[in-house]
Structure 1
Amino acid sequence: MTRSGPIPETVTLHVPFRVVKRGGRKEMQLPEGVKQPRRTDSTLVKALARAFRWKRMLESGKFTTIAELAEREGIASSYMTRVLRLTLLAPDIVELILDGKQGQEFTLSQGLEPFPLAWNHQAPHFSL
């Protein structure tokens, strides 16, 4: 293999993106129209897992109150109550979150806000 010219010392590559804050950390976002790779939000997935684990612990009778369980877990009962609310999400929304298809706008802080309990009213609330 032969080269027709000298190898340049510097190569400049332009990649359009913007930096946005998401869940307390900075993230690169591609411009609109460019297909974004699917990426699960590990914070949101972890919160869902904790919520369903706590629900099972309460339903098993091992703990009788949220306050008792929260004390054992070392967190505030008010936070645990908000996270437990995630167990009321529609199954299709939970699936979207686990598959990383919930959209960039849907974060844990949005998921912890009050939302409609009727499954058919949840998707519009979260802009899904």
Structure 2
Amino acid sequence: MSTDSIQVFVPLTLRRKNGRPKILPPAGTVPEEDNLQNPHILRAIGRAWGWRRRLEAGEFDTAKDLAADIGLAERHVTRELKLAYLAPSVLRRLVYKREVPAVTIREMTDIAALPWVEQEAEVFGG
């Protein structure tokens, strides 16, 4: 070993998650904010906006037609489609700031029916 080199040991733990290896940071470290956001939330919001655009463009007449085309249950599509109607302030905090919601995706679909001024407090618990 050269005297000009330095060895650094970082105590990492390797764990399997969903069949894939995942490296866990040392105990006591705070993960980056990006790692806190559930990627399923961002995907669901992205899908909902894509479906909304397709419906508004007239590509499909109903959510039932859209669901049949993409191979999902109509109930699932109509429930998740509600995410495209979340308040802009909620979307900003979820998508741009990557804040973690205090509710599940399913609960968020119910919250989308509330007035925009109430949604933020419901989604982020404050």
Q: Please state which band the TM-score falls in when normalised by the shorter chain.
A: 0.5 to 0.7
Partners of 2:101 and 2:59 lie apart in 1 by: 37
> 1:111 offset after TM fit, Å?
1.8
Matched, 1:38 2:37: no
Alignment partner for residue 120 of structure 1, among 117, 120, 123? Answer: 117
> 1:125 offset after TM fit, Å?
1.5
Scaled by the length of structure 1, the TM-score of the pair is 0.66
Give ranges in structure 1 of 5+ residues lacking alignment.
Answer: 2-12, 14-27
Match of 1:6 in 2: none
Scaled by the length of structure 2, the TM-score of the pair is 0.67
> 1:110 offset after TM fit, Å?
2.7
Query: What is the identity percentage for the equivalent residue pairs of Structure 1 and Structure 2?
Result: 25
Partners of 1:67 and 1:104 lie apart in 2 by: 29
Partners of 2:64 and 2:70 lie apart in 1 by: 10
Tell me, yes or no, if the aligned pair for 1:41 and 1:97 is still in contact at 8 Å.
no
Alignment partner for residue 106 of structure 2, among 109, 122, 127? Answer: 109
- The structure whose RCO (Cα within 8 Å, separation 6+) is larger is 1
Match of 2:17 in 1: none
Matched, 1:80 2:77: yes
Give ranges in structure 2 of 5+ residues lacking alignment.
Answer: 4-10, 12-23
Tell me, yes or no, if the aligned pair for 1:93 and 1:102 is still in contact at 8 Å.
no
> 1:37 offset after TM fit, Å?
2.4
Partners of 2:90 and 2:30 lie apart in 1 by: 21
> 1:43 offset after TM fit, Å?
0.6
Give the greater-gyration-radius structure (CA).
1
Matched, 1:51 2:53: no
Amino acid at match of 2:118: H
Most deviating of 103-112 and 74-83:
103-112
**Closer, same or farther in 2 for the Cα pair 1:111/1:91, shift >3 Å?**
same
Q: Which structure has greater helix proportion?
A: 2
> 1:77 offset after TM fit, Å?
0.8
Tell me, yes or no, if the aligned pair for 2:86 and 2:119 is still in contact at 8 Å.
yes
> 1:53 offset after TM fit, Å?
0.5
> 1:98 offset after TM fit, Å?
1.1
